Structure 1
């Protein structure tokens, strides 16, 4: 859980604890179950006849923070100001943070870290990354720059990386394109083989990138790219195809890139 108080405008995950005629009381899950109030005017747009038609005890909801008064211990919230997209995204972030908290416990157990030190670790991670889940995303991708800034011992870092690799799946996209290659020279097959080898040189293996080229049927080859996002995948696919075509053209051949089977772009 996060210590302190939420900020005005922040979206927070809450559990409804009590519903009354004038509103609903909730516990803020991420803030040590501090109590907040949703006034009936902030439950839904328009007139609310039966408040329990909108919120009920035990329900997990997302609210927007309207006002915070630490001295009086008051937190005013709005349920109606949160749209469905914000609700889903905030709940997902909260779930990820819950999972990451358990994973950190696994890492702490493995590294022999006592509970008090674990809480201090969580505070450091939240200060650097904004949430607990992000450190595991970086760890599984091998991005250690921000992790090393935390100053954890090598044993702790090793435990975090191990837990990340066991539990986190790196997001990726998988796309394919096709390249037709023709070379009239007597050693044309060898030229094409070298061109295809050159096409994926230096791309595979970094940042979760995979480039795979397979034979479809003369003169067509399939180029498959797995990458963290579509923009990177599309660039790698196009560059690989262009490299193969350029290599073949140097030997008097020609090539044609097909992003999809039904669409072709010629580079003759």
Structure 2
């Protein structure tokens, strides 16, 4: 939703080029209900013969507000005053905010909820993250954060299901090849008991784990989490510390290979 207010001087804003003239370009400010003028002298620090050599109609740019006149409702901006690395990061952040707001709006409309009211309810979560999209990602990573949102439980459940279908946070994975064997009677039962204990220890630390038989006695183990610190803190320790349990069962256990997936 665009603001009727004016941007502040020195503020970086995202805008779309609407029209280019000999003396400058007119831009639509994306988060404000106003247009801005970009003088040719503010396009680049080097001499510019044609503005279209630097920007084009329809292009989205990051500019710095240099003058605001509320009486005449005019806003002047500069492109050259925004460092290139800042342009990229600000635009990326703006895109993620836009993507996040669009997801919230889509869910609200499907659920017949006022989108602005839902955004307001989600504000305690959004304020703790850089962008709206990052806040939505965090809901998938840690659904318990929804307990801080004042909406009915049924809506929370549907919102989480909606987000899971549309957002795929990066998973961090520890991949290991292990050898598990037993000589003697009851080997299948003991190996199964050992693997179940391995699963339980991973799940107790809120890690996802899959164990796949490669070729006896080798198993592929993938331990994953949306939280890299969980993988770093727990995954490798679980694989190492379970060796004491294998000794207790009389199972032969060995880690053949272990690495983080990129």
TM-score computed with the length of structure 2 as normaliser: 0.73
Query: Size of the alignment, in residue pairs?
Result: 252
What secondary structure does 1:24 align onto?
strand
Q: CA deviation at 1:212?
A: 1.0
Point out where structure 2 has 5 or more consecutive residues left out of the alignment: none
1:137-162 residue CA offsets vs partner (Å, 9 max, x unmatched): 344345243x4444334455455334
Determine the structure 2 residue equivalent to 1:237: 235
Note if 1:105 corresponds to 2:105.
Answer: yes
Determine the structure 2 residue equivalent to 1:129: 126
Point out where structure 1 has 5 or more consecutive residues left out of the alignment: 261-268
RMSD: 3.6
On the 8 A contact 1:181/1:256 being kept in 2, the answer is no
On the 8 A contact 2:39/2:76 being kept in 1, the answer is no
Aligned ranges for residues 1-268 of structure 1 at < 5 Å? 1-3=1-3, 4-6=5-7, 11-32=12-33, 34-63=34-63, 65-67=64-66, 69=68, 71=70, 73=73, 74-79=75-80, 81-83=82-84, 86-113=86-113, 117-123=114-120, 125-126=122-123, 128-130=125-127, 131-141=131-141, 143-145=143-145, 147-154=146-153, 156-181=155-180, 190-204=189-203, 209-250=207-248, 251=250, 253=252, 255-260=254-259
Q: CA deviation at 1:242?
A: 0.9
Residues 124 and 5 from structure 1, CA distance in 2 versus in 1: closer, same or farther, beyond 3 angstroms? farther
Residues 127 and 6 from structure 1, CA distance in 2 versus in 1: closer, same or farther, beyond 3 angstroms? farther
Residues 211 and 103 from structure 1, CA distance in 2 versus in 1: closer, same or farther, beyond 3 angstroms? same
Residues 7 and 190 from structure 1, CA distance in 2 versus in 1: closer, same or farther, beyond 3 angstroms? farther
TM-score computed with the length of structure 1 as normaliser: 0.72
What secondary structure does 1:203 align onto?
helix
Q: CA deviation at 1:12?
A: 3.0
